[in-house]
Structure 1
Amino acid sequence: MIDPATLPAEPGCYLFSDEGGNVIYVGKARNLRKRVSSYFSRHDLDPKTARLVDAIAGIDFIVTDTEVEAFILENTLIKKHQPKYNIDLKDSKTYAYIHITDEPFPRIHVARGPDENGRYYGPFVSARERDDLLRLLKSLFGLRSCRRLPRRACLRAHIGSCSAPCIGRIGEEEYGERVRRAEAVLKGDIGGLIRTLRDEMAAHAERLDYERAMDLRDQITALERLRERQHVDRQKTYNEDIINYIRSDGTVYLMLFNVDRGTLAGKHQYTFDETEGFLEEFLARYYADHEPPEEVILPEPVDDAVAIYLSHLRGGKVRLVVPQRGEKKNLLDLVGKNVEITFFGDRIKLEELRRRLHLPSLPVAIECFDISHLSGTAMVGSMVRFYCGKPDRRNYRRFRIRSVEGIDDFAAIAEVVRRRYTRLKKEDGEFPDLILIDGGKGQLTAATAVLRELGVSIPIAAIAKREEEVFIPGFSHPLPLDRHEKASLFIQEIRDEAHRFAITYHRNLRRKTVAP
């Protein structure tokens, strides 16, 4: 089973499976590592969640770019796997769509899923945004929403928000043009529609038809406002697969995402030896056992014969696309991001840390120190060790501060650093490649003095909590690290673990002190 602490601190979905490999729970998270770790660190779980945790034998995850994407993906994965421990919502199984019916005078309304004739647009994560858009389209283009055409004008016709095909106020051809314009908005082509309306407005103004020109002006204004705030996950009418990979040391690390009509539905990952033409061979072998979709997005071109072969397998045309920009390129990059995190996440963090701290070698072993106390009482120290980017919990250490009276974090840091590396020298133990100190320049100076006193030469840095500033010896100012870049986030992760370990030890000591 994957160690939750090794999961990425990214938004996405996590899947718990049982010993038989069956998915028993699907969840979403803003931060995958924190959310999944919480299942195994809490002791106040409700009975159902406790049973879930006992049944977990495997963990998988899919990283998304945003939390909203995670919401949509979670919904799709739950419908696909029907997990035992997810809530069964009988009346609300999917996000809603905007549906335009297939009739002489099409109706526009909200629908739960594409199970009738017509065109569907969505799904919409935000019900408020969906309803606002529906209201705008109905009033802007005068589209009907009634289930059946009435025999007399309704209230919407009287107030001018419906074109009233029911009483013959508009013909089928003109109404159809309004429907096409509404669909242009739903497809995202607002810019093209605005240009068309501007041309029409100018033509009506030239003919002195100012009333119609003003109507078009109002439509253009409404569409421009909509373009500024519209964020809809648009529905596609076809399926596609997205494939991306990374080559490293003669090995190919490849991931394939299945996209079901615009919504991410699942992933597959493969590792194999790099050979000439490996991508074409993979496509031939994979799709021999899986029906090809209408479109396959790839990071590089392949031989035209591959498209012909896949089209033969599918019994219809298969497009092989190598995008350079736009939505499809973003999807390709998302798959590449998942490959990076799944196969190389820890290596990338270490490389970035080595580069940004100007270290002489990769910091494979990192030790971080923190001090915890309550107004100077029960002062304790902690040391956590990370190895190859992951917590090495067997080598965590706790310290009761012996030589410090009152509040003196500098002296406390000096004591724990001295005790740790005096012992390693005595036992001829393995020294770390990097030492991190939770604190600012004062704590760093105290720890550096101890290392100099012991004759130990190890790169050292300190991180100050308030602004997440990183200091190294010899510099009065912090390093120019952005708190959101990979190296800084990794340092914060290690520091937070040291702080958590120190706080836990401190609380345990206080409980023993107050126990009867």
Structure 2
Amino acid sequence: MPSPDITHLPAKPGVYLYKNATGKTLYIGKARILINRVRSYFQKRASLSVSKQRMVREIVQIETIVTSTENEALLLEATLIKRHQPPYNIDLKDDKRFLYIKITVNEPFPRVFATRTILREGAKYFGPYTSAGYVRYTLRTLKRLFPHRNFEKPPSTNNLARLTERYPELFGPQDERAYADNIEYIIAFLKGKFSDITDVLEKRMRRAAESEHFETAATYRDNLEGMKRMLERQQVISPNPETYDLLGLARKNDYAVISVLYVREGKLIGKQDFALTNTSGETDRTVVSSFLEQYYPTSPEHVKTVYLPISLPNLTHLSSLMSINLHPAQRGTKRRLIKMAEENAREYLARTESEREKSAEASAKALGKLAEVLKLRRPPERIECYDISNIQGTHPVGSMVVFERGEPAKKEYRKFKIKTVSGSNDPAMMAEVLDRRFSGTKHPGWKSPNLIILDGGKGQLSVVTKRLGTRIAEIAIVALAKREEELFLPGKSTALRLSVGTPAYHLVQRIRDEAHRFAIGYYRKRHVQSVIASTLDSLPGVGPKIRSKLLKAFGSLEGIRSAGESELASVIGAAKAKKVKQLI
């Protein structure tokens, strides 16, 4: 296949996207000069890994996005990789599974809670955290030391007044200044500035005691003692109040783990493990660089110094680009801590590998039994399950989830907006979804399944098989009825029942529940968008493009309302921001 034409590419900073013949994004990269970086892939003496050589043979189309600076390109690259998850990029596991601690500092009485979504609405975020247990422990500690409001959704004004009166301990101080102090302590805590907190608490305790405000002094004393007990459990790394991260790397086959140790004010306060895939054939330097470029540009915490397990050839340039001091740890305390991080990474890698092996064995057993019950020639390697979601025919959607070798293949999931069916007619909607899915001219790159599961009963199965006819003649298809977990097959009047509690039973349930979850999520998104759209559409001068930009940036109508005029201006321009702020 001839190389794509690159002569038209700009000599400017930006991001490039390589795509194959079906339009699928293969790889995303950034460059200070786009044409030079892209050209380097197609030179005869290009030093590429085996996987990258294979990728180059697949490239048919190249898209570029020009940015003002290379720093902007770095941030955009990280964002696009998370969105598209290209198969040839080293993939830091999708951050939808990561947790953040959110503080709504744009409110008079800020709330503190865990979230998986970052919105541009003026709140502060800390993370990401890979352990939900660690987040729960941290939030419990913060609630005990510095009482505050920890509910994710604020109650109405009437409910808030009633709840505050009945359960005052749930809401923290009622005085705005005292509450603001607690939020200040929480932010310092999450930044690792423990000495700042203890110094302030000690001063305020003495001041309260001198003023004979003994109850207040006792509260400060209790908080101080709680802080000191917690600090005693933390490992002192250095007598110097240094703050930095350290990275440890472990690898096996196509899988890599980077463990990050967090040192704040000379104390080791925590650790997070991050899994990376698509690393086969790549050097350690490439893996570490990819992690740095994907993790730190989008991290809410802006750490200034990071110590690395190896030296990188582009260290000075990368440090400047990311505004972080990057250093290879070669000796002393830093090197010892890097070895500790590497040991943590190896332990996490071994544990997850063992879990994957056990999961693969269980899946193989379940698929074998399912093939036996359905009288398939071999266990189904690829299963597609479909579900419909709507309420009385409004905003109807369909979902397709894919399981390969018994595990969810989330990159293969697809959503369908129902286009041709009016009213509440689930069988017809299901038929439309599968008709579009198996329209070979539209989706030539989609793999063919070995088994189709319809979430529904005989009605869905009958309508779908009649409409698709020979297009699915070579594919096994069943309908799963919810009431008794019955499986209906084409042409059979009686249903099959899987033995309750068996691996095959649990697998089918899991697949069906995942299709339902995916469909419901898409339906809710469409419903919420329609409500927001109707509100925004009522504002003069706000069209579909402006609405789309606002929703993408701020996530919700409440997020748009809460945003400052300058934040709105960064998304839609100063003139429109002023108008939206006035009208909304």
**TM-score of Structure 1 vs Structure 2, range by shorter chain:** 0.3 to 0.5
TM-score (structure 2 length as normaliser): 0.32
Q: Identify the structure with bigger relative contact order (alpha carbons < 8 Å, sequence gap 6+).
A: 2
Instruction: Report the structure number with the largest CA radius of gyration.
Output: 1
TM-score (structure 1 length as normaliser): 0.36
